[in-house]
Structure 1
Amino acid sequence: MKEVSSKDIRRAAMDLLARREHSRRELLQKLSRRFPNEAERVGVEVCQLTAEGLQNDSRLAEAFTRARTSRGQGPSKIRMELKGKGVTDADILLAFEEAEVDWFALASEVVLKKFGDLADQEVDIRLKARVSRFLQQRGFSYDHIASLY
Structure 2
Amino acid sequence: MMAVLKRMFPPSSCVNDAAESAESTEGGARAQPAPPLRRFAMDSLARREHSFVELQRKLRTKYPDASFDEIDAQLGRLRDQGLQSDARFAESYVRYRKSRGFAYHHIRSDLLGRGVSESLIEANLFEDDEDWLPMAEALVEKKLLSESDLSFGSKSHLRLQRFLDARGFPPRVTRRALDARFTR
| TM-score computed with the length of structure 1 as normaliser | 0.86
Q: Summarize the alignment of residues 1-149 of structure 1 with structure 2, pairs less than 5 Å apart.
A: 7-39=35-67, 40-96=69-125, 102-116=131-145, 122-126=150-154, 127-148=156-177, 149=179
| TM-score computed with the length of structure 2 as normaliser | 0.71
Q: Percent of pairs identical after alignment?
A: 35
Structure 1 stretch 124-133 or stretch 79-88: which is displaced more?
A: 124-133
Q: 1:23 to 1:10 in 2, by over 3 A?
A: same
* Structure 1 residues without counterparts, runs of 5 or longer: none
Using CA pairs under 8 Å that are at least 6 residues apart, name the structure with larger relative contact order, 1 or 2. 1
Following TM superposition, the consecutive aligned residue runs of length 4 or more in structure 1 with deviations greater than 4 angstroms are: none
**Structure 2: how far apart are the matches of 1:106 and 1:117?**
19
**Structure 2: how far apart are the matches of 1:14 and 1:136?**
37
Q: Answer 1 or 2: which has greater helix percent.
A: 1
How big is the alpha-carbon RMSD for the aligned residues of Structure 1 and Structure 2? Answer: 2.2
Q: Give the secondary structure class of the aligned counterpart of 2:83.
A: coil
* Structure 2 residues without counterparts, runs of 5 or longer: 1-17, 19-32, 180-184
Aligned residue identity for 1:31:
L
1:38-64 deviation digits (Å, cap 9, x = unpaired): 222111000111111111111111111
Aligned residue identity for 1:123:
S
Structure of higher CA gyration radius: 2
**Structure 2: how far apart are the matches of 1:60 and 1:41?**
23
Deviation at 1:6, TM superposition (A): 6.0
